[in-house]
Amino acid sequence: MSNSANSLRTVSIIGTGTYLPEKTVTNRDLEKIVDTNDEWIYSRTGMRERRLARDDQATSDLAAAAAQAALADAGIGADEVDLLIVATLSPDMFFPSTACFVQEQIGAKNAYCYDLGAACSGSLYALETAKNQIACGAVNTALVIGAEKMSTFIDWKDRNTCVLFGDGAGAIVLRATGAERGVMKSVFGSDGSLAPLLWTPGGGSRNPMSHDMLNRNEQYLKMEGREVYKHAVTQMTKSVVEVLEANDLCAEDIKLFIPHQANARIIDAIGKRLDVQERMFLNVEKYANTSAAALPIAVDEAAKSGQIAKGDLILLVAFGGGFTWGANIVEWTK
């Protein structure tokens, strides 16, 4: 196949699915375990509740349930999947890839599988990776999953972080179609110099597991909230502008803007800067920040609730630890 742009196949989303654990933890529930209250949490984050997985559920279990829902929505079997990517920062274990566990659970025996780590931007990065594999003809059908069990590495004594996150998974099925545009051009960026503003400093090769590391609570997520807020608003706003320019579009062409669901104040600030507040999708009140799972969950919910229809253009934008960020535009073809 030629490498020219004209030879690339158009890639579309043909199915979406979500899995959210049954257990709901409200802000009132958190008042019982940490020094906080419902008003403090909601006024700063827009969050009312979040879902927490059972102790016997791993990230792969959440991912597999979302994957099965997405495959059913697409009307295809797991054996038709050629590529399976799991975006996560809470894998089942260091290795093998969580994607391999998902493959086994859902019976995607013909897929090759791997994980992708870009924190909260992970599912957007995975979507672009899968799109390019399909577009060039390397595979025909891809399954992209964002899945997180954030509750396993949150310090439940730290009110500044434990109130922010939830567990869940979302999945997207991609395939080459005859659509005019499908998944369109994307923009991405990273800045590793800012990593200490949002990271988990312990447990890896730089700071291995040890009694001292555990005593310092370095196995838990650490975040400088105000600094992260500023960078998130700046980079996501910039990404929206850049991706619109890259696709020769303007904000008025977009039916729905779907941002990473980190914080309602971040989303509101971006909406105001772009003057698109009324078209910003928001579900952070119900699920909190589910990291790499947030975007696919939001896309699935927007589709199932009738907020987008065939032919609409949606814009996805994300920001996460690394720092990583990016945006893309999708023509909805379902």
Give the catalytic positions in this structure: 120, 260, 289
Length of the chain: 334
CA dist., res. 19 & res. 30, Å (int):
23
Bridge partners (DSSP) listed for residue 187: 327
Place of tokens 């960078």: 231
> Judging by beta carbons within 10 Å of its beta carbon (0-12, 13-18, 19+), is residue 251 exposed, middle or buried?
middle
Query: Which residue, 171, 173, 172, is CA-closest to 66?
Result: 171
Provide the H-helix boundaries in 204-307.
Answer: 211-215, 225-246, 264-274, 284-287, 294-304
CA dist., res. 180 & res. 302, Å (int):
22
Distance from CA of residue 316 to its chain's centroid? 10
CA dist., res. 46 & res. 276, Å (int):
18
Per DSSP, the three-state class of 327 is: strand
